[in-house]
Amino acid sequence: MSQRTLVLVKPDGVARGLTGQILARIEAKGYTLTRLELMTPTREILEQHYEEHRGKPFFEPLVQFMLSGPVVAAVAEGDRVIEGFRSLAGATEPTTAAPGTIRGDLGRDWGEKVQKNLVHGSDSPESAEREIGIWFA
């Protein structure tokens, strides 16, 4: 079943020069990148994207982190790409993410208020369509 998902290389991944490695892993898995843009997100985009977390203690630190530098936004397509990319990305916590995953191989805990975990991937077809609409309006 062909799907689309939003993939974000977060500011920490871009700043560390990992964008190419991350995108190469997506392509090596057999998914197709159909949209790709380097951008500095606005607060408006981030507030829409993270709407479900508004009011939670980590909301503002997360928005501030995502405003801290450029982000690479991509749309990846392929059979079961949502599940596949989330598996490729690894657990949210880089310290416990499995080796072989993006976060397990390239991420670590920096001891800061917000988890800098390199990438975001949509968690459902509905989220993917909503998020793609936000980032590629």
Report whether 92 belongs to an annotated binding site: yes
117 among the known binding-site residues? yes
54 labeled binding residue: no
Q: Contacts from 12-18 at CB under 8 Å and sequence distance 24+?
A: 12/65, 12/116, 12/117, 12/118, 13/72, 13/106, 13/118, 13/119, 14/38, 14/69, 14/70, 14/71, 14/72, 15/69, 16/106, 18/106, 18/118
Cα separation, 33 vs 26, in Å, equals 8
Determine which one of 120, 122, 131, 132 is catalytic.
120
Q: Is 58 annotated as a binding residue?
A: yes
The whole-angstrom separation of Cα 16 and Cα 25 is: 16
Joined tokens for residue 20: 């190419």
Tell me if residue 53 is catalytic.
Answer: no
- Residue 10 annotated as lining a ligand binding site: yes
Residues at the binding site for ATP are 10, 58, 86, 92, 103, 117
Residues at the binding site are 10, 58, 86, 92, 103, 117
Q: Catalytic positions, please?
A: 120
